Amino acid sequence: MQCYNTSGGFLHTPIEEVKENATKSLEQGIKGIKIKVGQPNVREDIKRVEAVRQHIGDDTPLMIDANQQWDRATALRFGRAMEEFNLVWIEEPLDAYDFEGHAQLANALDTPIASEEMLASVGEHLELIRHKSVDIIQPDAPRIGGITKFLQLTTLSDQAGLALAPHFAMEIHLHLAATYPQEPWVEHFDWLDPLFNEALEIKDGRMYLPDRPGLGFTLSEKMRGWTIGTQEFGKR
């Protein structure tokens, strides 16, 4: 699956470091770059996007994520300013539960709208689908109830003609995204790498499914050293 990196473009990161991180990600074989926006001064956000676009070139997929920072008017003005940068999507421009606002924005802009990593059930996502709030749906399997609920939701998402880009946890979402009829995006974070003995294969812009049993990971000794408690269930 095609993959993009998020962890190098947070708001607290100076722009020169964001650009360096983008270069490193692309050199690792990651296809796209996502950066955070949503600063109090919208002009600073625009400068930030422009700097990264110039750095990575016009052909590299670029996404932005506002983490629910804007009201409807700000999101619309900013979205119009973003049209020239050919973004893959604008993520979470509004409060996650503002289904109508997202729908108005998606209808007004050429740039696709992605959202809803924060929703906690299939039912909440159905409201998103019913309102036609987004072009790209971003469910989080652990947050909405696990693998079965995720697959229920993606069936409905496909019927609605939505693209898929699951949130975080690439170790599980890579497998689930592989079941989607159209090629999804998988979000790359290296935060969980110390927990596992194995690493995912990434090359030529894509993340590859492992052929190991299950999800393809075993827990590392470092993770075991960090464990502060255990609990067993199901025993009598």
CATH number of the domain residue 64 falls in? 3.20.20.120
Catalytic hit among 19, 31, 36, 175: 36
Is 36 an annotated catalytic residue?
yes
23, 51 Cβ separation under 8 angstroms: no
- Containing structural domain, residue 135: 2-191
- In the chain, the number of structural domains is 1
Structure confidence at residue 163 (pLDDT): 98
Structure confidence at residue 175 (pLDDT): 96
Q: How far apart are CA 156 and CA 179, in angstroms?
A: 13
Residues of the chain with pLDDT under 70: 235-236
Structure confidence at residue 52 (pLDDT): 98
Structure confidence at residue 83 (pLDDT): 97
Q: What is the pLDDT of residues 153-195, one digit of tens each?
A: 999 999 999 999 999 999 999 999 999 999 999 999 888 888 8
HSE value, Cβ hemisphere, 13 Å, CA-based, for 213: 1
For residue 2, which phi and psi values (nearest 5 degrees)?
-65, 145
Is 175 an annotated catalytic residue?
no
- Confirm whether 201 is domain-assigned: no
- Confirm whether 35 is domain-assigned: yes
pTM: 0.92
Catalytic hit among 34, 167, 173, 175: 167
- Confirm whether 217 is domain-assigned: no
Residue 133's nearest CA partner among 115, 121, 145, 153 is 115
Widest pairwise Cα distance in the chain: 63
- Confirm whether 124 is domain-assigned: yes
- Confirm whether 219 is domain-assigned: no
